[in-house]
A and B are shown apart, each in its own frame.
Chain A
């Protein structure tokens, strides 16, 4: 059987959510042009404030159109996250690598980032040096930041 599970990327643009987005974009675009035209006539009738809006509404309409194009383009060609695996670790951060097993264990034990912090602290606590505890805390902080940005921009959005 042929592989029916592979769906072309553009197909996402014809899902009900995306169709309503296209429809909204069209209405918003023409609506904003219409508002500009309305303000233009108000301005001609002597409302001085309307002159500003006469020029602003068409600019909003153009921005809306550009925004719509960007949403479609970004959806068709999603940018890979920049340097997804790159973590800049400071000198002496080897403890994190050593404690990698503990990190994963801490995280998978459903303790989340606190588990990681504890795992790193526990590991260094064996040495009984406060400087190491401080370093471990900093490394745990780095690991926490990395976790927070991991998968960023993937979950939210129109689908």
Chain B
């Protein structure tokens, strides 16, 4: 099925966007904003803020697609947490790990192409 072939691609796109968006947000919150507030230098906040804004738009679409591919219910707190994670520093990393363990890994493991069963041939 097409969904089975697309699923790993969507998952990888989600992981990339989660990490890139998360990194930008960390730079913005822990470097850009302190510099703006205490250093009176807003260049990093402006540049990284704009980049994060655009990345978050992409993250939203990719992450939402991922939730559908790994069968997370749309009207669920889980989906909302995944989507909002891109606006809270560090949360994207935590949520990515949690979603991988709880949803992505089991779904990928259960759908073909299945892992080559080495031990099973030994019969």
Question: A residues touching B (Cβ–Cβ < 8 Å)?
Answer: 21, 48-49, 52-53, 56, 59-60, 63, 67, 70-72, 74-75, 81-82, 87-88, 90-93, 131-132, 134-135, 137-139, 145-146, 148-149, 152-153, 156-158
Contact = CB atoms under 8 A, between A and B. Distances in A.
B74 interface: yes
Given A91-B120, A138-B117, A71 B110 contact: no
Given A49-B46, A134-B122, A90 B64 contact: no
Contacts, number: 97
B75 A146 contact: no
Given A90-B117, A152-B103, A53 B53 contact: yes
A12 to B, nearest CB: 10
B87 to A, nearest CB: 10
Given A138-B117, A145-B110, A153 B3 contact: no
B119 A138 contact: yes
A88 B122 CA distance: 18
18 contacts: A52-B49, A52-B53, A63-B61, A70-B74, A71-B75, A74-B74, A81-B71, A82-B71, A90-B117, A91-B121, A135-B120, A138-B117, A139-B120, A149-B110, A152-B103, A153-B71, A153-B72, A157-B77
Contacts of B3: 82
Interface residues of B, number: 35
B112 A152 contact: no
Contacts of A135: 119-120, 122-123
The DSSP consensus for interface residues of chain A is: helix
A56 to B, nearest CB: 5
B121 A90 contact: yes
B27 to A, nearest CB: 16
A93 B122 contact: no
Contacts of A145: 106, 109-110
